[in-house]
Structure formats: C-alpha cells, structure tokens
Amino acid sequence: MAVLVFVETAEGTIKKSSLEAVAYGAAMSSGGVTALAIGTEVDDTALAGLGNYGATKVLHVKDERLNKGIIQAYAEVISQAMKDEGAEVLVLANSSLGNPVSARVAIRSNASLVSNVTELPDTSSGFTVKRSIYTGKAFAVVNLTQEKKILAIRKNAIELKETGGSAAVEAYNVSVPESAFAAVITDTEKATGEVLLPEAEIVVSGGRGLKGPENWGMIEDLAHELGAATGCSKPVSDMGWRPHHEHVGQTGVKVSPQLYVAVGISGAIQHLAGVNSSKNIVVINKDPEAPFFKAADYGIVGDAFEVVPKLTEAIKAAK
C-alpha cells in the first residue's frame, strides 16, 4: 500500500503532529512511506530526520510562494504528489491547515476522507478506521470505500517511536497555477510561548478564579516547571487578560494533551468541549461544586493562590 504523508513545518522545524503522522503512515505500510514537505522554511537536513520516524523518502517542494500556507496551492501540490507517487493513502495531521487542505484534496482525488483518526486502520475486511467524535466523548468506526483514502490523525493519538533511520530527500518540482494563489494572506498573528498550545503534551490553563492578569505569573511558573503550554478560558481572553490564541474551548483551541491542569476554571460546557480529549485532567478550584470536577481525573478543592505555588515548589524539588 503506497502511503504519502503531508508534513507541516513552522519556523524551520517539523511539527510534532506531523511526526506522529509519519509514524502512523510507517506503521500501516510495510514498504515505508514517502513524506511531502512544502515551502522553504525547513532545510533538507531536518527533513532527512523524518527517516527516524519511518519515512524512506521525502519530497521537498522549494517554492517560496508556498511558505504562507495558502490552502488552494497546497491542495494542488498534494494532489499532484499523490498522482505522481501512485499513493493510495494520504496521511496528515488533523489541524487548522490539514483539515481544509484534506477536504480539497479529497474532492480533487475522488477520495474517502476521515478526520480525528485515533487508531491504525483495520484491513481484515475492507478498510475501516476509528475516529473521535463529539469532542472526544465517543468514537465511530468508519468504512472507507473509495480507492484512494485520506486520513487526518488526531494530535497525541499516536505514540512516537524512533527507528534511528534517515530518509533520502529529493527536490520535487511541481507547476502550481497562478489561480491557486488567488487568495492572499495579508496578516498572520502567531502564537508565542515556550511551548505552543496546539502541540503541547501538557497544558496549564487559568480562569477567572485568578482574579486578574497580574496574577498570571503563578500559571506561567507552574507551566515552566512542567514544560507545559499555557491556556485560558474564554472569559479570560474576552476580558483581555490573556491573548486570544490561548483561549481553550469549543470556539477556541481544542487540545488533546497527556495532562490538562485547570486552575480557577468552573468548567462550562463550552470549555469542556475543547479539553475532553485530554488523557488526564487535574482541576484546582476552591468551589467543591464546580462542574469541572465531574470531568476531572484528579481534583484539588482549595485556593489556587495557596495550592499552585506549593505545587510548583514540589515539582521543582522533585526535579
């Protein structure tokens, strides 16, 4: 089974979610996988490292016009690469870029598409995959019937295993029509922080229980000790205490880390919708009736201004 994996990059590095996609593709293909990288932001040395996760070959499209992630242009390149490589399956990360791109590629390639994939496909009788639905509250088993298939992998659903290999990187020249660049990106606001929220394995979030932006230092201190990204509830970002790119919830960033720590967040259903896929949830709140405790794996009833600094010091001492 020929598998092509679309690899996303940012600021010269390959996104962790794309490494997971490569590992997924390698696990389902006995003959190895071909990865596809678009743009000039990452060099060939970094791309060769994809062999450490199962890629045997990397196609690199070195076109500066593609650095901004214009969806129509990416769909054009990926569709052509699938055709040239004879790929039966396209694997990519379930992301803000991967989702719209995969939809367009599916139309162009007449392919079956399934998102939020959490497990390897079952090919014993047809081609079925398990996907997360209802913001992580349930799973569905989907049967893909088209000859070509596109699988968008949920972040942190696949265990990364290093193989020690190295992939051969080849320049891939593809003609992209000017019509594919009809959309123009005029401005981009990039998230900042030691660890970016969408890629984080640990997230520490704060809510209105922090009482004001001047108290956010203890959230950042705890996140620093845990090697975590910081997040917040919607009211916090609406009030301007924290930037909007840190808003976790149904209308913000949906996360699926190994550990989610919620500090001073009541647990409104809109927030829970963004964190339900977390492997473990820890809630710190002085209100024992806070709805978030019902969704928590572990809960601490106490004043965040007392609990969080002690927790931070304990983690620092344990190191």
153 beta partners: 93, 117
108 among the known binding-site residues? no
Q: At what angle do helices 71-85 and 98-109 cross, to 10 degrees?
A: 50
Would the annotation count 25 as a binding residue? no
Q: Is 277 annotated as a binding residue?
A: no
Cα 20 from Cα 199, distance rounded (Å):
11
271 assigned binding-site residue:
yes
User: Is 268 annotated for ligand binding?
Assistant: yes
87/164 Cα distance (integer angstroms): 25
**269 assigned binding-site residue:** yes
Q: State yes or no: 217 annotated in a binding site.
A: no
Beta bridge partners of 122: 128
Q: Is 109 annotated as a binding residue?
A: no
The answer on whether 280 is annotated among ligand-binding residues is no
Please tell me whether 265 is known to bind a ligand.
yes
What are the CA-CA distances from residue 47 to residues 41, 161, 218, 236, 255 (Å)? 11, 17, 38, 39, 26
Annotated binding site for FAD: 208, 264-271, 285
Binding residues: 208, 264-271, 285
